[in-house]
Structure 1
Amino acid sequence: MRIVYFGTPDFAVAPLVALHEAGHEIVLVVTQPDKPRGRGHALQFPPVKEAALRLGIPVAQPERARNADFIGLLRKQKAELFVVTAFGQILPKEILELPRYGCVNIHASLLPAYRGAAPIQWAVIDGQKESGITTMQMDEGLDTGDILRRYPLPLGPEET
């Protein structure tokens, strides 16, 4: 299956690698732009970009997903599915409607709880006994699409 993968932090690396190892054709990886970090403010790649380059997959880093040139680039990929894991930008309807099978989000909580940013941190802060991963079909809302599957994971008292 032809896939465009969207992701940025460490959390998004494992799904990218798993899709690649499963034999899917990942035609493009989309991640946030490189940012200066550390004392010297050296430009550093997002973890997903580093993984994509190791795997030999082309990378796009749009400042804004709504950019017309970027949307044109996505159209050219002729992807059947977009997979999104902690990308960091909300995708507009125009992008969500591009792939034949739509867009699937891999979210770091047991939806519908903890929508949006920092779901793992908030589950720990709130003293939850479990968290997990939810895969969902994306729609225009923030983590509001149909849930495909939930994968619960226990949170121990030592979690911080």
Structure 2
Amino acid sequence: MTSIIFMGTPDFSVPVLEGLLDHGYEIKAVVTQPDKKVGRKQKITKTPAKVAAEKHNLKVLQPVKLSGSPEMEELINMHADLIVTAAYGQFLPTKFLNSVKIAAVNVHGSLLPKYRGGAPIQYSLLNGDKKTGVTIMEMVKKMDAGDMYAQKAIEIQPDDTSGSLFEKLSYVGRDLLLETLPKIIDGTVKKVAQDPDQVVFSPNISKEQEKITLEMTAAQANNLVRALNPDPGAYMMVDGKRLKVWKAQVSDETTDLAPGTVVANKGRFAISFANGTVLELLELQPSGKKRMEVKNFLNGQGSKFTTGEKIVDEE
């Protein structure tokens, strides 16, 4: 039986782990990020990968930093055949990568060499891409730079968010990994080097990137909303307070109104953006409130705004 050290953290990793178990691979350990405090009540929460591992009574390790940790030495001494990672969230030291008998394999949520880094799915939406996908790749010391074993693309739908793409790609990644692993194990797989001239990076989303600005077109603002749903959410500043936008759609209409102005406030809520474009807001979350459909917003706080009124703050 082929033995694997599995490394993953979010929901994306769970179908991959479950698929390996269903196909008879021996999981020597599941390595995941430490439990963290979540929500207003700061409740200590296990990672989805840990929850799945415990369901199957698998050994779980959660080093704050893998490099130089006692956990890494323990993993090296397991002498596993493979390392498989799926959105683990830490660099893996070369010493550890070289400790397995066959290969260290990563399930990466993009069509490499496009979008190396920690937020490939978000950037595919931010940039308005028409397709994304999964790459099964060999892990090396340099981030997401290893040779590629296999790729599969999917179309990005107009209503896709990071949440929906993460879910879709987790199953695409599971199936592609299970199809590719036997060829990696028996040595028949054909590796393809990444073209360095085509490399695009996708670093983790910064706090500054969460803000919808008036320099954006409606399409760019909508792409940001989709990219940051379900976490952490995009927002605009209205009357000095954050107004989170969870769902929107680009209107076919155009306007001469300055960016940040109410275009419509009866039955729908539409705001002007750069180049005369218009964005309809469909699901909102005022500061200190719960998420709500726009009709509920318009019946409450939104009722004070009038058509032609500029409400979005410049800074």
TM range (shorter): over 0.9
- Opposite residue 96 of structure 1, the aligned amino acid is L
CA RMSD of aligned residues (A): 0.8
Partner of 1:18: 19
Report deviation, 1:76. 2.4
Partner of 1:35: 36
Partner of 1:2: 3
Deviations 1:72-97 (A, max 9, x none): 11122221100011101010111110
Decide which moves more: 69-78 or 39-48.
69-78
- Superposed, 1:1-160 pairs within 5 Å as 1-159=2-160, 160=226
- Whose radius of gyration is greater, 1 or 2? 2
Do the aligned residues in 1 keep the contact of 2:87 with 2:108 (CA within 8 Å)?
yes
Task: Give the percent of matched residue pairs that are identical in Structure 1 and Structure 2.
Answer: 39
- Opposite residue 18 of structure 2, the aligned amino acid is V
| Matches of 2:54 and 2:91, distance apart in 1 | 24
Report deviation, 1:103. 0.3
How many residue pairs match? The answer is 160
Where in structure 1 are there 5+ consecutive unaligned residues? Answer: none
After TM superposition, which residue ranges in structure 1, 4 or more long, deviate above 4 angstroms? none
Report deviation, 1:158. 2.0
| Matches of 1:23 and 1:84, distance apart in 2 | 17
- Opposite residue 37 of structure 2, the aligned amino acid is P
SS in 2 for 1:6: strand
- Opposite residue 32 of structure 1, the aligned amino acid is Q
Q: Which structure's relative contact order is higher, taking Cα pairs within 8 Å and 6+ residues apart?
A: 1
Report deviation, 1:102. 1.9
Deviations 1:117-138 (A, max 9, x none): 1111110111111001100011
Where in structure 2 are there 5+ consecutive unaligned residues? Answer: 161-225, 227-315
| Matches of 1:13 and 1:63, distance apart in 2 | 20
| Matches of 2:114 and 2:15, distance apart in 1 | 23
| Matches of 1:33 and 1:10, distance apart in 2 | 15
- Opposite residue 98 of structure 1, the aligned amino acid is S
| Matches of 1:123 and 1:68, distance apart in 2 | 34
| Matches of 1:76 and 1:117, distance apart in 2 | 28
Report deviation, 1:156. 1.3
| Matches of 1:43 and 1:67, distance apart in 2 | 26
| Matches of 1:158 and 1:75, distance apart in 2 | 44
TM-score by length of 1: 0.97
TM-score by length of 2: 0.50
- Opposite residue 82 of structure 2, the aligned amino acid is L
Do the aligned residues in 1 keep the contact of 2:63 with 2:69 (CA within 8 Å)?
no
Partner of 2:249: none
Report deviation, 1:38. 1.2
